[in-house]
Amino acid sequence: MSDYKEKFEKMRVAGKLAAQTLDMLTANIKEGVSTDYIDKLGYEFIRDHGGYSAPLYYRGFTKSLCTSLNHVVCHGIPSDRILRDGDAINVDVTAIVDEHYGDTSRMFSIGNTSVKLNNLIDTTYESMMRAIKILKPGIRLGDIGYEIQSFVEEKGFSVVRDFCGHGISTTFHEPPNILHYGSKNSGMELRPGMTFTIEPMINAGKFPVKMLNDGWTAVTKDKSLSKYQIWLDVEVAAAEAMEKLNQIPKGVASIVRKKARINVKRIHQIEAEVKHDVIAFLTSVTEKAGIKARYLHQGMTSSDVLDTSFNIQMVQSGKIILKDIDQILKVLKKQAKKYKLTPCMGRSHGIHAEPVTFGLKLASFYEEFKRNRKRLVDAINEVSTCAISGAVGTFANISPNVEKHVAKKLGLKVEPISTQVIPRDRHAFYFSVLGIIAG
């Protein structure tokens, strides 16, 4: 047996154990469990089957697996974070058996995930398989990157540049780097005996990432999904309701959910011609999803999609700010206690006056942020409404049951009364609260 064939056999053993670990974990990755629990199960399974978890203590990493949730691109650290409905998680397993490494990962959707997220997962997997299919001695590394990048960008997604695949055998990471973007006929030529990973990391938005303070976790810089994705979620939810009411053929929603792709460039091309953003969007969706997609938007007006989607974006943005406020509150409370006896000069009538403590000032900021948090929670609740009521809001061409279904599906409340648009006082309240917080 040649040296590299012997290496292949040993790596297959390690790779098989890593894959079996994911198979075992599949039944346990569900709503209500923590990523720490997943890590514990993975560690014990690998240990009990004669292997060792490669990430454990690797360059200071303290866990056995990587669990990357939602906007985390890679190297997420398991914690007490509980999986919730709508989450997506990548579990990355690397096992060592007989000094050889097997590295693999798998994506898991928790409960009801968005159309965009499902498309992203499918596109990432297919891009990897397309790259694997072209592998043979004589092609170049750039061919791998080109195969992935061209397919991914055609689907409207982007390839992360900061992380890549890598050589692997008796060490975890070794040359060559396997970029998931590139040009044909460029880079190193593949030779018999090479072993490496292909692990494309694909973003729904732009490709830049940033590192968190833990030194490991890489996240997307733009955490939100595009407005077009939210439009599609609204349209698909409405189609589901219309199917139940026998107003459109069965299967429209599932076909669109499976086949639709957001192609921003194409939408803009169509919009330049038709001068209507929603028509351009629906036309682009139909081009990808097929003839059944023409049943989307039946009885609806553009404002049904635009206003409901805008409210969803405000809710999403508000929740991001809430997380930041919670972190600020923790810091302010801690520092207020720390400096409660540290004297500083207070002010009265615009001039320096009696001494106070620095902790008192921080406590004042703490209370202000508590009030701001309550205001923001109220503001988020104020814009958590949905209006799918047709032209001028009379339900003349659409059933109120469609609106109820969309609201429930997307975690919103039904707008009590709308004259085609969601009342703007809701938006005014939301943005006034943001102004208070910013001030």
Model pTM score: 0.58
Q: What is the pLDDT of residue 2?
A: 60
For residue 250, what are its two tokens? 């069965």
Sequential pLDDT tens for the chain (439 residues): 467 788 899 999 999 999 999 999 999 999 889 999 999 999 999 999 999 999 999 988 999 999 998 888 899 999 888 888 778 899 999 999 999 999 999 999 988 777 778 888 999 999 999 999 999 999 999 999 999 999 998 888 889 998 899 999 999 999 999 999 999 999 999 999 999 999 999 888 778 788 887 888 888 776 544 578 889 989 999 999 999 999 999 999 988 887 887 777 788 899 999 999 999 999 999 998 899 999 999 999 999 999 999 999 999 889 878 878 988 999 999 999 999 999 998 877 777 678 899 999 999 999 999 999 999 999 999 999 999 999 898 999 999 999 999 999 888 999 999 888 999 999 999 999 999 999 8
Q: Which of 65, 72, 15 is nearest to 40 (CA)?
A: 65
Spatial neighbors of 333 by CB under 8 A, at least 6 apart, are 366
Q: How far apart are CA 234 and CA 116, in angstroms?
A: 12
Q: How far apart are CA 12 and CA 18, in angstroms?
A: 10
What number of other Cβ atoms are within 10 A of residue 369's Cβ? 18
Which value, in Å, is the radius of gyration of the alpha carbons in the chain? 26
Q: How far apart are CA 131 and CA 264, in angstroms?
A: 25
Q: What is the pLDDT of residue 224?
A: 44
Q: How far apart are CA 195 and CA 189, in angstroms?
A: 13
Phi, psi angle pair for 133, to nearest 5°? -65, -25
Q: Which three-class secondary structure string do you get for the chain?
A: CCHHHHHHHHHHHHHHHHHHHHHHHHCCCCCCCEHHHHHHHHHHHHHHCCCEECCCCHHHCCCCCEEEECCEEECCCCCCCECCCCCEEEEEEEEEECCEEEEEEEEEECCCCCHHHHHHHHHHHHHHHHHHHCCCCCCEHHHHHHHHHHHHHHCCCEECCCCCEEECCCCCCEEEEECCCCCCCCCCECCCCCCECCCCCEECCCCCEEECCCCCCEEECCCCCCHHHHHHHHHHHHHHHHHHCCCCCCCHHHHHHHHCCCCHHHHHHHHHHHCCHHHHHHHHHHHHHCHHHHHCCCCCCHHHHHHHHHHHHHHHHHHHHHHHHHHHHHHHHHHHHHCCCCEEEEEECCEEEEEEEHHHHHHHHHHHHHHHHHHHHHHHHHCCEECCCCHHHCCCCCCHHHHHHHHHHCCCEECCCCCCCCCHHHHHHHHHHHHHHHC
Q: How far apart are CA 39 and CA 258, in angstroms?
A: 31
Q: Which of 358, 73, 18 is nearest to 219 (CA)?
A: 73
Spatial neighbors of 284 by CB under 8 A, at least 6 apart, are 262, 263, 266, 267, 270
Q: Are 436 and 375 in contact (CB under 8 A)?
A: yes
